[in-house]
Amino acid sequence: MTQHTLPLFDAALLRPALLDACKKLSPRAQLGNPVMFVVYLGSLLCSALWVQGLLGHGDAPTWLTGALALWLWFTVLFANFAEALAEGRSKAQAASLKGLKKAAWAKKLGAPHRYGAPFATVEAGELRKGDVFIAQAGDIVPCDGEVLEGIAAIDESAITGESAPVIRESGGDFSSVTGGTRVLSDWVVARVTADPGETFIDRMIAMVEGARRGKTPNEVALTILLLALTLVFLLVTVTLLPFSHYSAQAAGAGEPTSLAVLIALLVCLIPTTIGGLLSAIGVAGMSRLMAANVIATSGRAVEAAGDVDVLLLDKTGTITYGNRQASALWPAPGVSQATLAQAAWLASLADDTPEGKSIVQLTQPLLPPAANPLDAALRQGERPEAVSFAPFTAQSRMSGVNLPERAIRKGAADAVRQWLAANGGELPAALQQQVDQVASRGGTPLVVAEPQRALGVIELKDVVKPGIRERFAQLRAMGIRTVMLTGDNRLTAAAIAAEAGVDDFLAEATPEAKLAMIRDCQRQGLLVAMTGDGTNDAPALAQADVAVAMNSGTQAAREAANMVDLDSSPTKLIEVVEIGKQMLMTRGALTTFSLANDVAKYFAIIPAAFAATYPQLNALNVMGLSSPASALLSAVMFNALIIIALIPLALRGVRYRPLGAAVLLRRNLLLYGVGGMVLPFAGIKLIDLGLSALGWV
């Protein structure tokens, strides 16, 4: 997988971010962040006090008021810069996607909609949903579509970043083509699935533009908490002004605390650090997903990924390699190998899935000589009107063919057993034993039958991916339960589940069964994540809290999901969970740091603000700051500079490790809690020494 990463401080992003940071100084933009809006108002008031001091009416040294106002504006500007830089990274990703929307021409097919039919060359923008086009070697795919006919190698590197071409063909799970990609060889006939402005690239652009991202529930809750803390400190600070005046008059000595000093105190006490970085953390989380080639429709989905309790993973293509291959034929008693091969071949002629094609490939060398003209016509690739095919459905779990004198079905053993029973036949015990043996080996048995006679078993092999067991162990360490979904029977599912190391499995899974399982987990208060690519996965994807659809999957699956994996790698769900947890940990770590570093500011500002009225408070000057003015200015400068210092952490995120919740809590409290208290002491003291050395205070 290719990572679309940008340097944290790319020069191409810095200039626009600085410009956007200045634009965000408007009151309307500041209202979106209550904590920074208070700092914004404090900056305005402190600036007014500085002007008043210049006119000779100030209650504090003019230079101090001016310096405090300047650094308060820097605090607002730095917070704006953090948000603008995060948004700029997302907008840069969106801009690269917009580059894919080049003027293209389409070969629109007339009736009949098949290869060889006449076509008209039109602009891609004229295509509408339902139109049919042909794309040949060297052509740009003009619009999103579903392949109706043909097979082609397609270069999707402009979207996914992968240089290796992908195969797109009719039928199966790889029938979707995306506008803006290039056909490298052969051809496909496809039906348009999206109108102009609604294509996948259009939706990708809208998804990755961080400025459009709404706040997630956890962000809203944290914003309310920060606002509550801000109001508490605001009320405390407001009451200090009359109290200071009263104390100064009652003591008959000393000066009351100036308004500029109280503004500095308020700004340093409220959680400005996390308030300034909160939005940047959320936007950066979306950007990290995009770097992993995953598009999220909302920040809510990213956040939910970090809290997932249950992971539902499709077996084929996720836990196993998929594309199960027919490996052996096991005839029923009294049935010859050639008879079974012919029946399996006939039942698979219209099966466009990789499994169906592998059955045709396995059985062709075993076919007996053509017995009649109809048989000969079928072997030449013709489709006589007398022959009809029964397609596979999730409900029947069978497919087959209807000939003039016989019907043949192949499918799951229990489904074929029911079909036989409905037609007066039965599944022999010996054949059932063969089904169990194939399933116990981890293979997939397909029973082939006529209405009143079972003919035998086709064995399909499926291979578990290397390293998948270790990935599931990591998820288990995170406290996440893994469930394998498969349409196979229970014996096959149990063998694969044991080999892969999943916690549970759902065998013979229908769309209704998947949906019921997700709803049952949600009724228990669990958050559920699922990955899928087929139309039959769409109901479950729509119900899941985190739903990742494959880019190679059907349009229905992509529209039902709240995330799309451009690499079409079903195991990406594991990475999505890690990114979600990383975003939650980053927010928690910076919140802990922000609240903890206020402790040092208390020791810096409170003695400086009230020592003139209460000399006893000088005992709190544990840092030995050179003067009250230096203490005030050092604390305000540190408060602004720490936002800039933490921008890389907000954008890159806290490194996630699959440890238990208790271990992570202790680690973060030690690193960001204790560290958040210790670092400001050193930082404020260093700034104070620098100001003193320069003779500015």
Ordered structural domains, the chain, with CATH: 11-92+209-291+587-680 (no CATH), 128-195 (2.70.150.10), 294-319+465-566 (3.40.50.1000), 321-463 (3.40.1110.10)
- pLDDT at position 212: 45
Q: Residues 523-539: what's their mean pLDDT? A: 83
pLDDT at 224: 87
Q: What percent of the chain has pLDDT over 70?
A: 85
Query: What's the rounded mean pLDDT across residues 499-527?
Result: 89
Contact 591, 491 (CB under 8 A): no
Q: Which string of DSSP letters, residue by residue, matches 80-104?
A: HHHHHHHHHHHHHHHHHHHTT----
Angle at 568 between CA 567 and CA 569, to 5 degrees: 90
What pLDDT was estimated at residue 641? 93
Cite the annotated binding site for ATP by residue number. Answer: 351, 355, 392-399, 410
Q: What is the pTM of this model?
A: 0.63
pLDDT for residue 458: 93
- pLDDT of 71 reads 93
Q: pLDDT, tens digit, for every residue of 661-675? A: 677 778 888 888 888
pLDDT given at position 1? 38
| CA pair distance 90, 289, nearest whole angstrom | 10
Binding-site residue positions: 351, 355, 392-399, 410, 533, 537
Question: Cα-Cα-Cα-Cα dihedral of 672, 678, 684, 688, to 10°?
Answer: -160
- On the question of pLDDT at 209 being above 90, the answer is no
Q: How confident is the model at residue 45 (pLDDT cuts 50, 70, 90)?
A: very high
pLDDT tens-digit map of 260-285: 888 888 888 888 888 888 878 877 77
pLDDT tens digits, 105-139: 888 887 777 777 888 888 887 888 889 999 988 88
Mean pLDDT of the chain, nearest integer: 81
For residue 656, what pLDDT band results from cuts at 50, 70 and 90? confident
Query: Of 599, 391, 362, 350, which is closest to residue 461 (Cα–Cα)?
Result: 362
Mean pLDDT throughout 570-592?
A: 83
Are 522 and 528 in contact, with CB atoms under 8 Å apart? yes
Instruction: Show the CA angle centred on residue 569, arms to residues 479 and 139, nearest 5°.
Output: 160
Between 444 and 65, the higher pLDDT residue: 65
| Catalytic choice (173, 314, 462, 688) | 314
CA neighbor of 93 nearest in space, from 9, 13, 205:
205
DSSP state of 657: -
Predicted local distance difference test score (pLDDT) of residue 595:
87
Identify the pLDDT of residue 3: 42
pLDDT of 252 strictly over 60: no
- In this prediction, residue 251 carries a pLDDT of 57
**Is the model's pLDDT at 23 over the cut of 60?**
yes
Look at residue 341 in the predicted model and tell me its pLDDT: 92
Q: What percent of the chain has pLDDT over 90?
A: 14
pLDDT at 216: 62
User: Which residues are paired to 409 by β-bridges?
Assistant: 400, 449
Residue 2, pLDDT score: 41
DSSP E strand stretches across 28-131: 105-109, 119-123
Render pLDDT for 362-384 as a digit per residue (tens, 0 to 9).
Answer: 998 888 887 778 878 888 777 78
| Orientation angle between helical segments 62-98 and 272-291, nearest 10 degrees | 10
Within its chain, how far is the Cα of 411 from the centroid? 35
Judge residue 395's burial from the number of C-beta atoms within 10 Å of its C-beta, 0-12 exposed, 13-18 middle, 19 or more buried.
exposed
- Residues forming beta bridges with residue 169, ordered by sequence position: 151
Q: Is 314 part of the annotated catalytic residue set?
A: yes
CB-based contact 210:144 (threshold 8 Å): no
Burial category of 249 from C-beta neighbours within 10 Å (exposed 0-12, middle 13-18, buried 19 and up): exposed
Nearest residue to 40 (alpha-carbon basis) of 214, 287, 270: 270
Annotated binding site for Mg(2+): 533, 537
Average pLDDT over residues 386-412: 84
Condensed to tens digits (0 to 9), the pLDDT of residues 609-631 reads 676 666 777 777 778 888 888 88
Angle at 656 between CA 579 and CA 568, to 5 degrees: 30
